[in-house]
Amino acid sequence: MTSTNTGQVPQAPGVGDILKDIQAEVSNLIKDEVELAKSELVPSARNGGIGAGLFGGALYFVLNALILLFIAGSLAIWKWLDVPIAVGFVIMAGVLIVVAVILGLIGLVAVKKVKGPERAIVQGQRTADSVKAAIARGNAAATAPKIEGSVGQPQIAAPAKRS
């Protein structure tokens, strides 16, 4: 019987190879996470789209009903105040413009209060800087001509003798 073992110890992968493996694993992990998110979000997005379409249809009919109510209000002003019909529509238009201006000013005040996600942006920048620094350290270690230090067996303390 001949042995296929030549007594050689397999060579350990280099730091560059390890970094490439880590990069490939992180890439695969990110791709898998994106696929998982897609599989969860597609049905939700479909339902959300259908719901948004139905709300849009409802809004269309509500707006048509409001137009009819505004016309009825204009006719009521014409009848109650005994003015020309055009004056009734002008009065109704004036009321609607006043309401629109009030709502617009309230909306403007609310929009001016909106702030960006400042803490999230700062944290995201810190994370990106940390990742860049780690990649730079890894690349520097991978391209270094010599790795400093040594790897040895850990020292195991002998058990104390009892007297």
Q: What is the pLDDT of residues 105-157, one digit of tens each?
A: 999 999 998 888 788 788 878 888 887 888 888 777 777 776 565 555 555 65
pLDDT at 5 exceeding the cut of 80: no
Task: Enumerate residues 6+ apart whose C-beta is below 8 A from 85.
Answer: 74, 75, 78
Residue with token string 């992180």: 26
- Inter-CA distances, 119 with 114, 125, 132, 133, Å: 14, 10, 20, 21
Q: What is the pTM (predicted TM-score) of this model?
A: 0.48
Spatial CA neighbour of 96 closest among 110, 82, 77: 77
Q: First vs last Cα of the chain: how many Å apart?
A: 53
Domain spans of the chain, in order of start: 15-139
